[in-house]
Structure 1
Amino acid sequence: MSSASFPYRILVVEDDPALREVARHMLESKGYEVLGAEDGFQGLAALKRSLPDVIISDLRMPNMNGFEFLSVVRRRFPSIPVIVISGEFTGLTVPESVLADAFFPKGQYKPQDLFAKIEDFLCELPTRPKVGKPQKAAVWVKNSNEAVVVTCTDCLRTFPVTSPPKGVNEVECDFCSCTIRFEIVGALLSPLDTSRIS
């Protein structure tokens, strides 16, 4: 698993401080170095400082949720294995909408199963294939001003885009000038028309 001189590093992204602390103690007891983050933004900041060997993430979090965070992770760091632990879904298979390599329903799994999955991923690390990257990996959310907030998959900073049309859009990042592609799959509600759902 890990040696005393070079422990494997695991990033835990969880907004509940108590659960984050429990995860830290459990993983440290197995010899792992543990980094913590309370949401996706902090998780991305942690990735910029030091890449982990495995990521464990929740899905429902404030600021940047797990779906958004994992979209960026899959695009920027496709070779890092990701485990999702969440109450959003049930069962042990990875839900189709979750960009992860393994899934555990929160409160319904045994720690030894989690440790075994981590071990499996660590054994694969030298030969782990790069999983496919999404073609449109930028993240967007509608805010109260009818704008879309896009997260640049290159510099990981966010910027607003006003009234993008439905379909695939390309914009230049306000910070690093990279071209970002994202897709609007539903119509944005206009102030005059509240009968449509985005």
Structure 2
Amino acid sequence: MSRKNNGSILIITVFVFLFVNIIAINCSALILSNTRYTRYDYEEVYMKEQCLGKIELIYSNILKEVDKTLTNTNDYDSFKEYIVSDNFLNTINNIQDDDLNNTTYQINRTDLNDKNNIYYEIISKTTYNKFSKQIVAYVKIKNPFQEDSLSENKDNSQDVEDSEESDLNKLKSSDENIEVSQKEQEKIKNIEDINCSDLVIMFGYKEE
């Protein structure tokens, strides 16, 4: 009788031991899985911050350069010509003294059929612990000038001066001191009041 009881106790002990082991293994697997997910989440957040940090630096460069362009241009064509030039691209590409060493970037101008806006895409890519992440941001730069508006007004102003002035000496004098019309002055004043952040708009990005 005691042998049967001992055998039953042994069998129960084995089953309990196996049951406890199964629970322990499942718990260990769950903890390991959660640890991996937590680690991946950290790396995902870290890489996203690195990519966006590089994009913000480039966006800041674009703002500064557009501000300079507004100061140095006064018509539609000259503004657009510089914004699409290699000099503009090289300037906004010049990023120094940043701590984003594992992050690379590329800036491309996208050709869209829009007369009043110039579009760029910023591709920022980073790697960390064998993981990689890429974010593509899209930037729109508005041209604050109306196409050929100032030059046309200047031509019209000159035509009026030519028709009203009959004396050659007066004409030469007026050529040297052409007064900008009131309408032109208002337009120039409006340009001076423009905030660059209203011209440079980041209108979307995607993660890859």
Aligning the two structures, in what range does the TM-score lie when normalised by the shorter sequence? under 0.3
Q: Larger C-alpha radius of gyration, 1 or 2?
A: 2
TM-score (norm. length: structure 1): 0.19
Bigger helix share: 2
Q: Which has the higher contact order (CA 8 A, sep 6+)?
A: 2
Bigger strand share: 1
